[in-house]
Structure 1
Amino acid sequence: MDSVDLRYMQIDITLESARSLPGVNLTNDFNRVEFLSRMNASEEGMHALIRCDFNDASILEKEQEAFKIIKILDQNDHSALCEVLASGPVSLIFASLHHAWWVTPTFVHPEGMIMTLRGTRNALRQVREKLSTVLGDGFKLKLGAESLHSPEFIELLPERQRTVLEKAILLGYYDRPRRCTQRDIADSLSIKQATVSEHLQSAEATIIHAFTTEP
């Protein structure tokens, strides 16, 4: 029996493009805010577990626009595990969707936000469309190794691009954190780093286009 067709995608939101979002203040108040697990969702937003890293624990007492701390489950001098209600525009998008959700690593950092998503093809397309209404073109799509290695997408690529992409996946270029550089890929294939960069960019663009536009 065939399994449900789930995809894996990452979205990179820059700090500049997030200036109008309430969550931008998190980049000033915390060193890192990491999403750990979604508990449930409603019209109010997403109930979730997060980990906050900070320099001063008193920042937990500050009222945030992006989320409300419901309960602090554990805490030390520089980190806290919290149950929150996330009610910003981006959180509300995912609270309204049943077939796409955040998975780790998903976190706010000083330069913006990385969201790692899991969901059906149609749901992830809806995510892209809804984010466009909030952020315009102020975000970048990145496909994780699992989606990049899908035969459905690999078959779209010319042989040379396919070879470079498969080597990149094998060596861990798309892992988080990365386990190799473009130079490592180039050395393993005895080609120039510039060639690796060109092939990977072209392959990623082809796959992302197919991922987000196919019916």
Structure 2
Amino acid sequence: MADKAAVRRGRYEQARRNDYAVIAAAREVFIENPEAKMADVAHRAGVGQASLYRRYRTKNELLNLVCADGLNAAAADAESALRASGDPWEVFGAFMVRFLQSGAGAQLILAGSFVPDESLIALGGRVSRLVQQVVDRAIAAGVLRSDITGSDLPLLAAQLGSMRSANKLRDRELQRRYLGVILDGLRAPAHSQLPGRAPDQEEIEKRWRST
């Protein structure tokens, strides 16, 4: 019995590692090229195509899971920021670094390239509310300019996340560099009023539903 339990645990752990590898590979492949095929994901993840299709029936299903993975990470980052104590600007800056790394903003690049499940739209709404709370907290502390909204942040992250080349380490270095520039522009006191109006959640959702 013990041997059978160990075998089951081993298979479960292997399946979990495969899932992680596939989601990570799919995020990279589809952000690089939204028209990529499932075969490209299998190749990047190092798994067989048959194995991939057994777990993910369609590209649309896989894209929903990829985006849900990033949004769940973003929700966890926002919750962590809301629990954090210490210097309010340092808390906000650390959140922005994690938010960029989660890929939640970068995945806006995929908006319109697949049909999002209603559960994904609902998850996006939850993340939006949490991020708005992070923004409100920073504004109330006097460290974030008051004309910024939570809906501005994923669009900023999307612009940074679109920086892609064959050198991933260099991409990450440049993303962090320009995030530093953006953070300086976000910090209070602001030296000018931002032109135009901020996006709202409806505008963000329209990007996802544009297929």
TM-score by length of 1: 0.30
Higher relative helix content: 2
The structure with the largest strand share of the pair is: 1
